Structure 1
Amino acid sequence: MIKTMSTNSHLPDPATPDDQTDTPTDRRCVARIEEYDDAPDECTLYPADATPSELPTTWISAKEGSYVSLDEMR
């Protein structure tokens, strides 16, 4: 089973150095969760507006058990 959800996030423009005071841009990411019977579930995040040629290089995946709650890390 594949579950897909979208989320808005305010991220700085990657081309903008941290020391500049530009306003963050609004970006939409998609989180796709693939459930496996014989392996840990996997969550993949990628830009919602990525083109087919960008998708192979603009994503990040994590297997269930390799990520933690944001509240736990604060």
Structure 2
Amino acid sequence: MTTNTNDVDTRQSAFDETSIELDSVTIQHNDAPNECAMFPRDASDIELMTNWIAAYDDGFVRLESMR
């Protein structure tokens, strides 16, 4: 039986070609949890309307606690 290793290489190449650099901004609210908005660094104004992720204070953990 032979194993085809091309599938793994193809998937890795496809992943590398679709890498996106993200930028972020922290939005501080007086009456709500702080919010971190993450978005593609090179997104146009139109793309920014739909291509973003929001995370709130309770969505974060200290780095030291995950080690």
Check whether TM > 0.5. Answer: yes
TM-score normalised by length of structure 1: 0.58
Q: Number of aligned pairs?
A: 57
Q: Structure 2 unaligned segments of length 5 or more: list them.
A: 1-6
Instruction: State the structure with bigger RCO (CA 8 A, min sep 6), 1 or 2.
Output: 1
Cα RMSD, aligned residues only: 2.6
Structure with the higher strand share, 1 or 2:
1
Which structure: larger Rg?
2
Q: Structure 1 unaligned segments of length 5 or more: list them.
A: 1-17
Give me the whole-angstrom Cα distance separating, in 2, the residues matched to 1:55 and 1:67.
Answer: 23
TM-score normalised by length of structure 2: 0.63
Answer yes or no: is 1:37 the counterpart of 2:37: no
Structure with the higher helix share, 1 or 2:
2
